[in-house]
Structure 1
Amino acid sequence: MIEIAPSSGYNPLSLQYELEASSATMDLPGRKVLTVSAFTEQIRSTLESKFQSVWVRGEISNYRPAPSGHLYFTLKDETAQIRCVMFKIQSRFLKFRLHDGLQVIVWGKLSVYGARGEYQLILDTMEPAGLGGLMLAFEQLRERLTAEGLFDPSRKRKLPAFPKTIGLVTSSKGAAVSDVIRILRRRFPAVHILVSPSAVQGDRAPVEISAAINRLCQASGVDVIIVGRGGGAMEDLWAFNDERVVRAVAACPIPIVSAVGHETDVTLSDFAADVRASTPSAAAEIVLPDRRDLRENLTHIVARLTHSIRNVIRRNTGAVEEQLKRLFNPKRQIQEKRLALDDMIVRMTRAVKRRIGDSARETELFTQRLKPGRLFKQIEIGREQCKSLVNRLHREMSGYTADRRAALLSLTARLDALSPLSVLSRGYSITLRQETYEVIQDSNTVEVGDMIHVRLHKGGLICRVLNKMEETNNRIAGRSSVDSDEEENRNTE
């Protein structure tokens, strides 16, 4: 770039001279001038050969997942930042989700993007740094134990209403144990407390907590167990996320209350326990009722019971007094029963008289109907009615029979007219084959010498065919076999 100093006047010849002088200066012999692409390529070659694999720690910002599955973000610390990209083929193996502010340790190679003159890290692997690693382990173990069913709500048990013995698993030196004991004694002094001490942080804590829970399970008479400790950093509470502790809590046959840290602290032991308490002190208040509350509740119950009894007595006082009057004044009771009996006798007498009157009227009615003169008259009337019905029946039957007989004679005459037998009575006959009794209607269907059966009006004849005659001009002509023989004899002579 050439910078032109401002002047009071504009001279085109002067500007042209300066540009030509600058151009001549830049083209001096012996100077190696690189293009931007060549220079960027040298940078890329140098950086990528030197940083082929590198571990970098930083904080994620400007996280931007692409629809293609690639992950883009900026890795930064207090004074610098670098662009990073993890392609889909590597990002699918991540066991945690990225978000802005997450501290991570990444491994990859440096790459220069010449189109924009920028460099970036192409990542192969990534893992949370510091607390992020613990959270990753937390999520992985939680998913596995959830799949096994250790956190299933159906496994949760109810706490006993009035436990006699309470087990306590915590550090014997911390403030939590003294706070829990103090609250338990205040709420219910008669309760028996059995402390099973253990370390609550450090490498030995998971083993000691599991052993302390098992000791209380083997002890007799323990009704409920409190497992917990006071607040602290997440690393301090990590023993209660250990798989051994979580499985010991889930396998315990006694109901367990988990009370680890404060309200915002969540451990895997909370998921496995039957009840979660925000603090150890809250757990002590959950497992035991306060005797003062019990006393107040008992007072309220006694007052309500007394009030109910008084109401019952008040409602039944009148009935009791009435029963007492009846019990100590039998004369009045006898009088009431006597009046009731008199009233019943009057009603029964009226009912009997009414029934007797109804029966008398019915008897009189039947008596009138059964008198001899009236009975004979009714018999005579019935006899006349029977005679009339018999005569009418005879007339109807005679007319019906005559009509049916006339119809039958008419049908018989029609059938006789159509019957072949009636034709035979007029001199006709029916000719049948001797063998099959088929009717012969054409002379051509028989031969001379065949045996035939002739059906007459009375009886029949069995004949032999001697000659056949044919119908010619309504005349029948023919020769017999005898005539034919005689003619042959004459011709021979």
Structure 2
Amino acid sequence: MITSKDKTILTVSQLTTAIKNNLENEYRFVRISGEISNVKTPFSGHSYFTLKDANAQIRAVLFKQQKRFVALKLADGQDVVCFGRVTVYEPRGEYQLVVDSVELFGAGQLQQEFERLKEKLAAQGYFETRYKKAIPAFPKNIIVISSPTGAALQDFLKIVRMRQAPLQIKIIPTLVQGKDAPADICRALILAEKQPETDVIVLCRGGGSLEDLWAFNDEQVADAIFRCPIPIITGIGHEIDFTIADFCADFRAPTPTAAAETLSADSASLMLQIDSCKKRLQRMIGQKFGAIQMQLNHSIKLLGGLTSRLASGEHRLNMSQSYLQQAMNEYLSTLENRVNLRRAQLEAQAPVAKVRLQERQLSHLKKALLGNMKHIITRHEAKLGTQAALLNSVSPLATLARGYSVVRKRDITGKLSSVVTDSAAVNAGDRVHILLHQGQLDCLVTEKNNS
């Protein structure tokens, strides 16, 4: 400091240079907030303006070569945060701020706070996939937490009505903007947890600026979402908007409309699934019938040598096969009619909640069909056994078993001739061979009686 006792006399340039050096060393890099005024951009391309608050002001300059790194277009009245260096413009003896970067005051602060909270919660595991709860494929009871007067809620309900989804929807009104909104959202989440048989909670809000959506970047809201035992879907803002609530939720939908589409099943898709089940059932029945047909053809080939005696049995078997095929066709037609009836009911009522019941009924019908097929096959196998027994009863071996015998004459060489059916064919002294049911006899004819 120069006092009246100092003998050193400084020039204006020396004093100005000393002040410049002191300022630049003391405030090498600073971040200053204030309001822009009196912006001027001459032909040189540099922008000169004043940065002020309620009690003071400072001149500032943003040089042309630095503008390519600044996205903000400077205008009077903007509240900004400038990052730069304090220096002295020696020709005029004025100090000023040489600006390196500029950002809006509110958005910059909020964005920094957003990133800090995001990093903090990520480090605590709030966003990890292993903590995400599965969203039910076909939810029935849904609680929507949103502003009752907002367009987001109306868009959500419009999609549900359009899809005719059988959903039970309960709405918990809440604030979605303002300083009281975070506490109100937490209150709504706690209330939703207490509702019985709740499948999914939907937290939705329409689009807006970062400040408008700030209630969903609150740490208390993030903690309430993370600790909620019920799966939560968020549909906040537009597709490009991301909030802390989206990262903590179990599923993030880009918009409220997308959240409704996620939860309401598409009837056309369900119809495709039913048609697929029908085709798979028909294919299985066809394969089973083909296997039975192959077994039947194989059995017919084994009995080919007895065609004449089994003609009646084969005819009956063919008739039975025809009846079986007719019965199966009628049964399949009945099943098809039932499926068509269920399809018509589904198209008329959009029965999302009944899909599982239909699947159980189809499974029951499949088991009943297989049981009926086994019963029919068993019944015809029994008929085939009866025919085989009848065939056995008229065979020559069965006749021998009842006490009859076959008598054949031997010639002088001992060779057997034809069967003897008349006593005139033999004479006393001839040798005959008798075939019994068990064993054989060689006999000598000692006497004959032609009567």
TM-score when normalising by structure 1: 0.47
> Is residue 183 from structure 1 mapped to residue 156 from structure 2 by the alignment?
no
Q: Against the structure 1 CA distance between its residues 265 and 78, is the aligned structure 2 distance closer, same or farther, given a 3 Å change threshold? A: farther
Q: Does 1:81 align with 2:81?
A: no
Give the counterpart of 1:157 among 133, 156, 170. 133
Alignment check: 8 A CA contact 1:48 1:110 kept: no
The corresponding residue for 2:183 is: 207
Partner of residue 345, structure 1: none
Q: State the Cα distance separating 1:333 from its structure 2 match.
A: 8.7
1:101 alignment counterpart:
71
1:288 aligns with 2:346: no
1:406-421 equivalences under 5 Å are none
Q: What residue number does 1:482 align with?
A: none
1:361 counterpart residue number: none
Give secondary structure in 2 for the equivalent of 1:227: strand
Structure 2: how far apart are the matches of 1:195 and 1:316? Answer: 59
Question: Which string of whole-angstrom CA distances, capped at 9 and with x for unpartnered residues, describes residues 354-396 of structure 1?
Answer: xxxxxxxxxxxxxxxxxxxxxxxxxxxxxxxxxxxxxxxxxxx
Pick the aligned partner of 1:133 from 85, 92, 109.
Answer: 109
Q: Name the SS for the 1:130 alignment partner.
A: helix
Query: Relative to structure 1, is the Cα distance of residues 282 and 108 closer, same or farther in structure 2, using a 3 angstrom cutoff?
Result: closer
Is this contact kept in 2: 1:82–1:120, CA < 8 A?
no
Question: Retained in 1: the 8 A contact 2:165–2:264?
Answer: no
Distance 1:108 1:230, change over 3 A: closer
Aligned match for 2:385, one of 304, 323, 327 = 327
Q: Quick check: 2:177–2:212 contact (8 Å CA) kept in 1? A: yes
2:203 corresponds to 1:198: no
Write the distance in 2 (CA, Å) between the matches of 1:77 and 1:328.
Answer: 114
Shift of 1:257: 0.5
- SS of residue in 2 equivalent to 1:101: coil
Q: CA–CA distance in 2 between the matches of 1:140 and 1:75?
A: 34
Distance in structure 1 (CA, Å) of the matches to 2:392 and 2:13:
130
Hey, what's the Cα distance between the residues in 2 that align with 1:305 and 1:205? 55
**In structure 2, which of residues 129, 143, 154 is the aligned counterpart of residue 167 of structure 1?**
143
Give the secondary-structure state (helix, strand or coil) at the position aligned to 1:329: helix
Note if contact 1:167-1:224 (Cα within 8 Å) is conserved in structure 2: yes
Provide Cα deviations, 1:251-280, integer angstroms capped at 9, x if missing partner. 110000111111100000011000110001
Contact 2:132 2:249 in 1 (8 A): yes
CA distance in 2, matches of 1:58, 1:270: 34
Deviation at 1:47, TM superposition (A): 6.7
The aligned residue for residue 273 of structure 1 is 249
1:250 corresponding residue in structure 2: 226
Please say which structure displays the higher CA radius of gyration. 1
Percent identity over the alignment is 35
**For the Cα contact (< 8 Å) 1:161–1:288, is it kept in 2?**
no
SS of the aligned residue for 1:235 comes to coil
CA contact (8 A) 1:58 1:75 kept: no
Which residue in the other structure is 2:202 paired with? Answer: 226
Query: Could you give the per-residue CA deviations for residues 215-266 of structure 1, whole angstroms, max 9, x where no partner exists?
Result: 1101101001110111111211111111111111111100001111111000
In 2, Cα distance between the equivalents of 1:174 and 1:119? Answer: 51
- Report deviation, 1:313: 1.9
Shift of 1:183: 1.6
Q: Cα–Cα, structure 1 residues 219 and 320, in superposed 2: closer, same or farther, change >3 Å?
A: farther
Provide the C-alpha distance between the structure 2 equivalents of 1:47 and 1:305, rounded to a whole number of angstroms. 91
Q: Distance in 2 between matches of 1:248 and 1:255?
A: 12
**Could you tell me whether the CA contact under 8 Å between 1:241 and 1:269 is conserved in 2?**
yes
Q: Which residue of 1 aligns with 2:274?
A: 298
Please identify, of 204-213 and 263-272, the stretch whose mean Cα deviation from structure 2 is larger. 204-213
* Separation in 2, partners of 1:301, 1:240: 44
Q: 1:128 to 1:148 in 2, by over 3 A?
A: farther
Q: CA RMSD, aligned part only?
A: 4.3
- For residue 123 of structure 2, what is the amino acid of its counterpart? A
Matches within 5 A, 1:333-344: none
Equivalent residue letter for 1:101: A
- The C-alpha deviation readout for 1:404-426, integer Å capped at 9, x for no partner, is xxxxxxxxxxxxxxxxxxxxxxx
Cα distance change on mapping 1:328 and 1:234 into 2, 3 Å: farther
Provide structure 1 residue ranges, at least 5 long, that are not aligned to the other structure.
1-36, 60-73, 84-98, 340-493
Paired amino acid for 2:387:
N
**Cα drift, residue 45 of structure 1:** 5.2
How far apart are 1:138 and its partner, in Å?
Answer: 0.2
SS at match of 2:173: coil
Q: How far does the alpha carbon of each residue in 1:400-448 deviate from its partner, in whole angstroms, 9 at most, with x for none?
A: xxxxxxxxxxxxxxxxxxxxxxxxxxxxxxxxxxxxxxxxxxxxxxxxx
Structure with more contact order per residue of length (Cα contacts < 8 Å, sep ≥ 6): 2
Could you say what secondary structure the match of 2:202 adopts?
A: strand
Mapped partners of 1:56, 1:279: distance in 2: 35
Deviations along 1:91-114, whole A, 9 cap, x unmatched? xxxxxxxx6437952488733488
- Counterparts of 1:187 and 1:235, CA distance in 2: 34
**Structure-2 change in CA distance of 1:288 and 1:205 (3 Å):** same
Match of 1:317 in 2: 293
SS at match of 1:167: strand
Q: Secondary structure at the match of 2:148?
A: coil
Instruction: Quote the Cα distance in structure 2 between the aligned partners of 1:218 and 1:174.
Output: 25
> Which residue in the other structure is 2:75 paired with?
none
**1:77/1:211 CA distance change after superposition, 3 Å:** farther
**Residues 292 and 112 of structure 1: is their aligned pair in 2 closer, same or farther, counting only changes over 3 Å?**
same
User: Contact conserved, 1:185 with 1:191, CA < 8 A, in 2?
Assistant: no
